[in-house]
């Protein structure tokens, strides 16, 4: 009885009695969700256009952020470093296309997936080799990102919203809008969708696969850099981020692998339910359930809707 | 000249279905086994046995486990580390409850615990596949890792949260714990690994193995020819987790001597996955090669600078090793998707026609 009470009643009573805490928790979940969504966006981009499930997206985030901070530490002004970091991501995209994708053309998806494990391992080694393993501080002020927090007095308590989180949410929405426009109404965007539909058909109408792949991986690199800056501003830039980035996987499962809005909605759902679960139900289980809750939610969800919320229905042809 | 099967006629089905149908292979494997069981314990120094051979054997078994699932049945799993952990913790609990039981029996039994959990987390594989399944196995990885920390019953309410291996004896000789000599532990590991590899090799050549491969190659077609998908996939998950569980139990009981939850994190899962990819998907021999390469590479890298007289920091070695492993994975997938095992095959084929080119 006591246990049932603790599971089904007590958390809701707590929510009702201290609404300010609830709002704060919801907000934190929302912010975490936006950041998950940003990483998930990188996965979706590459998956949509090249059918590669890029496991290395998480480490690309870390790598991009480290490059930015590392260049700044050399004395290069922040915005020049930003452009140079973008250049590095472009170089990475070209290298990946040359070395990894081109020899693996026409291989089954699962082989390409495993190749990205190789890329992950390589980038971890390379990143630590060049920049060292210690966490670095993101250069928020130099990039003119806002610091500090807004405090609201509502619902009989105070809720504090970090300005950087608001900035992250705004930038994420801008980026999603930009990508949607890019996909829907530019020439390259249309080519990208064609490639996603069928490599062969796209090739036969004269679309250059090489070029498209570079564009896509570069776009994913830009998303990675943005994510790295936003996430780095909240905590430090370190390789621990890579594990956090794995959280984008349940987000993808929830939202569907091929849907940009799905990544956003899935991210928010995962972020919010994770924080609510940890805050209200976590103590029952001894805490720390944040580390697996997202995966279990995704797992349960998969059983009922394997293609995700917004994903295209999986049709198997023989 | 030497390696040629000319004139070796098979006159019975048993001879045709033998694991090693060629005489030279049988001589070769007998020589390897004799070397491993007799020459190694007598000649090699303890450091080699405990720091090189035992880890390679343990990882080989884990890689075989994952290979059965990923290479043969085509179901990708990122939860290997957690299932190894289940084996280790199960063995620890079993030996606490039954201190007098034979430790080999307990190690094998703890594999069953891992198999049960593996089958449980394999349940979603009926409806989902590919990357989706990878996410499902990540759930297993993170959930079980969390259990290893947060369920104190698993580590007998130790304050340290670690599991310490108690001393257990067989025939009066300590085989686990601080008093066991490396040679004893090595022989035990070797016996278990050889036995289980033999079982696996028969499994994959038999009905179950063929069902797995049919599901891997095309599950819809497999279903159409009357293979029950769900059961086949669950068997794959259970058997694979069994192997991983035994490997995990051996890892703690016969190698580490003590372990905590962090020993079974996602890095371990990746490491075993890398061994499988580099060694060769769908090859038991490859699992050994992969384990030897991934475990041996850092050792070679670490000793190389000393030999050349160039000082390199330990951290740098670690980074270079990660880079080499990553590059190797991409290289193998692009150039030789069947991994080191395929190179071995090619070598054997070349040897067969030697000294002629074809």
pLDDT band at A99 (very low <50, low <70, confident <90, very high): confident
What pLDDT does A291 receive? 78
- Other Cβ atoms closer than 10 A to A175: 17
B328: chain A residues, CB-CB within 8 Å: 118
Q: Please judge whether A53 and B131 are an interchain contact, meaning their C-beta atoms are less than 8 angstroms apart.
A: yes
With contacts defined as CB-CB under 8 Å, which chain A residues touch B334? 100, 103-104, 115
pLDDT at residue number A230: 83
Determine whether the interchain pair B334/A114 forms a contact, defined as Cβ–Cβ distance below 8 Å.
no
Mean pLDDT of chain A: 80
The pairing of beta strand B168-170 with beta strand B163-164: unpaired
**Least-confidence region, from A155-159, A261-265, B62-66:** A155-159
Query: Nearest 5°: CA angle at B184, between B179 and B186?
Result: 120
| 8 Å CB contact between B334 and A100 | yes
Identify from A63, A249, A297 which residue to disrupt to test chain B contact, counting B C-beta atoms within 10 A and taking the largest count.
Answer: A249
Q: Find, in chain A, the residue whose alpha carbon is nearest to that of B141.
A: A292
Are the beta carbons of A287 and B149 separated by less than 8 Å? Answer: no
DSSP label at residue A312: P
- Of A177-186, A235-244, B306-315, give the range with the top mean pLDDT: A177-186
Is the pLDDT at A145 greater than 90? The verdict is no
Q: Given CB atoms, is B40 within the 8 Å cutoff of chain A?
A: no
B326 neighbourhood in chain A, CB within 8 Å: 118-125
Q: Tell me how far apart the alpha carbons of residues A49 and A196 are, in angstroms, rounded to a whole number.
A: 4
Q: Which residues of B touch A299 (CB under 8 A)?
A: 124, 135-136, 139
CA dist., res. A266 & res. A37, Å (int): 7
This complex has an ipTM of: 0.81
- C-beta of residue B143 within 8 angstroms of C-beta of residue A292: yes
Cβ neighbours around B56 below 10 Å, total: 22
Buried b (16+ CB within 10 A) or exposed e, A188-222: ebebbebbbeebeebeeeebebeebbbbbbbbbbb
Residues in chain B with CB shorter than 8 Å from the CB of A113 are 76, 130-131, 134
pLDDT digits (tens, 9 = 90+) for A103-117: 887 777 777 888 888
Cβ of A243 within 8 Å of Cβ of B329? The answer is no
User: Strand, helix or coil at A158?
Assistant: strand
Each of the 358 residues of chain B gets a pLDDT tens digit; together they read 677 777 888 888 888 888 888 888 888 899 999 988 888 888 888 888 888 899 999 999 999 999 999 999 988 888 899 999 999 999 999 988 888 888 888 988 899 999 999 999 888 887 777 777 888 888 889 889 888 888 888 887 888 778 888 888 778 778 777 777 888 889 999 999 999 999 999 999 999 999 999 999 888 899 999 999 989 999 999 999 999 999 999 999 888 888 888 888 888 998 899 899 888 888 899 999 999 998 988 888 777 777 777 767 777 878 888 888 888 888 888 887 788 888 888 888 888 887 777 6
Sign, Cα dihedral of B56, B61, B66, B69 = positive
- Of the candidates A110, A287, A318, which has its C-beta nearest B76's C-beta? A110
The answer to whether B327 contacts A122, with C-beta atoms less than 8 Å apart, is: yes
Q: Kindly list the distances between the CA atom of residue A225 and the CA atoms of A80, A119, A176, B124, B330, in Å, as whole numbers in the listed order.
A: 14, 17, 15, 34, 24
Contacts of A111 in chain B (CB under 8 A): 333, 337
Is residue A141 predicted with pLDDT exceeding 80?
A: no
Among A107, A115, A124, select the one facing B329 at the smallest CB separation: A115
**CA gap A178, A224 in Å, rounded:** 15
Give percent helix, percent strand, percent coil of chain B, each to the nearest 5: 75, 5, 20
Question: Among residues A301, A279, A300, which one has the least CA distance to residue A290?
Answer: A279
- Beta-ladder partners of A158: A153
- The reply to whether B10 touches chain A by the CB within 8 Å rule is no
| Domain B49-353, second-level architecture | Orthogonal Bundle (1.10)
Residue A12 CB coordination number (10 Å): 11
Distance from CA of A78 to the nearest CA of B (A): 28
Angle at B80 between CA B76 and CA B81, to 5 degrees: 145
Q: Which among A129, A246, A289 is the nearest to B323, CB-wise?
A: A129
- Distance CA(B347)–CA(B268), nearest Å, equals 31
Q: A298 and B128: CB-CB below 8 Å?
A: no
Tokens of B207: 């009905």
- Written as six digits, the tokens of A277 are 């679960």
Residues contacting residue B349 through CB under 8 Å, at least 6 positions apart: none
Tokens of B194: 């050889």
Partners of residue A291 in chain B, C-beta under 8 Å: 142, 145-146
- A126 contacts B143? CB cut-off 8 A: no
CB atoms within 10 A of CB A101: 22
Nearest to B132 among A100, A253, A289 (CB): A253
B192, B246 contact by CB (below 8 A): yes
Residues of A in contact with B273 (CB under 8 A): 114, 117
> Which parts of A100-185 fold into alpha helices (H)?
109-131, 163-185
B294: which 2 tokens?
């991934």
Residues of chain B contacting residue A243, judged by C-beta atoms under 8 Å apart: 266
Distance of CA B323 to the CA centre of its chain: 23
CB B127 within 8 A of CB A302: yes
**CA A72 – CA A137 distance, rounded (Å):** 11
C-alpha B104, offset from chain centre: 17
Residues 6+ apart with CB under 8 A from A270: A33, A36, A247, A250, A251, A254, A294, A297, A298
Cβ separation A302–B135 shorter than 8 A:
yes
- Give the gap in angstroms from C-alpha B327 to the nearest C-alpha of chain A: 6
């Amino acid at each position: 009885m006591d246990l049932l009470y603790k599971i089904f009643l007590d958390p809701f009573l707590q929510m009702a009695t201290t609404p300010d805490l609830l709002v704060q928790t919801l907000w934190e979940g929302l912010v975490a969700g936006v950041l998950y969504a940003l990483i998930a966006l990188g996965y979706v981009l590459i998956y949509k256009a090249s059918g590669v499930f890029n496991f290395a997206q998480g480490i690309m985030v870390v790598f991009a952020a480290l490059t930015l901070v590392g260049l700044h530490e050399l004395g290069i002004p922040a915005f020049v470093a930003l452009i140079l970091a973008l250049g590095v991501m472009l170089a990475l995209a070209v290298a990946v296309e040359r070395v990894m994708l081109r020899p693996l053309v026409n291989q089954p998806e699962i082989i390409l997936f495993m190749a990205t494990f190789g890329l992950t391992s390589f980038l971890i080694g390379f990143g630590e080799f060049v920049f060292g393993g210690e966490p670095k501080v993101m250069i928020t002020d130099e990039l003119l990102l806002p610091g500090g927090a807004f405090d609201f007095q509502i619902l009989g308590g105070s809720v504090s919203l970090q300005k950087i989180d608001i900035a992250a949410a705004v930038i994420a929405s801008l980026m999603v809008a930009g990508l949607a426009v890019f996909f829907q109404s530019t020439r390259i965007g249309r080519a990208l969708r064609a490639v996603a539909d069928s490599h062969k058909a796209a090739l036969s109408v004269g679309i250059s696969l090489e070029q498209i792949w570079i564009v896509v991986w570069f776009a994913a690199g830009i998303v990675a850099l943005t994510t790295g800056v936003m996430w780095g501003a909240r905590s430090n830039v370190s390789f621990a981020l890579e594990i956090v980035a794995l959280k984008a996987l349940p987000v993808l499962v929830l939202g569907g692998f091929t849907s940009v809005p799905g990544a956003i909605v899935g991210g928010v759902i995962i972020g919010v339910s994770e924080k609510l679960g940890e805050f209200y139900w976590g103590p029952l289980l001894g805490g720390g359930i944040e580390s697996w809750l997202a995966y279990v939610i995704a797992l349960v969800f998969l059983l009922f809707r394997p293609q995700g919320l917004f994903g295209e229905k999986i049709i198997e042809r023989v | 000249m030497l390696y040629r099967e000319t004139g070796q006629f098979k006159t019975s089905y048993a001879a045709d279905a033998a694991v090693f149908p060629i005489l030279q292979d049988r001589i070769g494997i007998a020589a390897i086994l004799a070397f491993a069981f007799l020459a190694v314990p007598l000649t090699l120094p303890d450091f080699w046995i405990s720091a090189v051979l035992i880890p390679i054997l343990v990882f080989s078994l884990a890689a075989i486990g994952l290979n059965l699932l990923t290479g043969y049945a085509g179901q990708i799993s990122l939860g290997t580390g957690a299932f190894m952990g289940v084996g280790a913790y199960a063995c620890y609990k079993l030996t606490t409850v039954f201190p007098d039981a034979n430790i080999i029996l307990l190690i094998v039994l703890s594999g069953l615990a891992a198999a049960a959990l593996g089958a449980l987390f394999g349940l979603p594989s009926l409806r989902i596949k590919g990357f989706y399944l990878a996410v499902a196995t990540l759930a297993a990885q993170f959930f079980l890792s969390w259990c290893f920390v947060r369920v104190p019953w698993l580590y007998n309410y130790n304050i340290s949260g670690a599991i310490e291996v108690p001393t257990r004896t067989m025939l009066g000789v300590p085989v686990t714990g601080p008093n066991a000599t490396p040679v004893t532990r090595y022989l035990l590991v070797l016996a278990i690994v050889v036995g289980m590899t033999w079982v696996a090799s028969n499994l994959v050549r038999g009905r179950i193995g063929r069902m797995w491969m049919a599901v891997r190659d095309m599950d819809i077609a497999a279903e159409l020819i009357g293979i029950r998908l769900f059961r086949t996939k669950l068997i794959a998950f259970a058997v694979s987790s069994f192997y991983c569980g035994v490997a995990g139990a051996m890892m703690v009981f016969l190698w580490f001597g003590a372990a905590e939850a962090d020993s079974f994190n996602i890095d371990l899962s990746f490491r075993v996955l890398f061994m499988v990819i580099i060694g060769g998907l769908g090859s038991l021999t490859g699992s050994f090669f992969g384990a030897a390469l991934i475990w041996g590479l850092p050792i070679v890298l670490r000793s190389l600078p000393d030999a050349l007289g160039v000082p390199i920091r330990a951290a740098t070695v670690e980074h270079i090793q990660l880079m080499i492993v990553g590059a190797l994975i991409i290289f193998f997938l692009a150039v030789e998707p069947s991994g080191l095992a395929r190179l071995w095959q090619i070598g054997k084929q070349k040897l067969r026609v030697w000294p002629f080119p074809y």
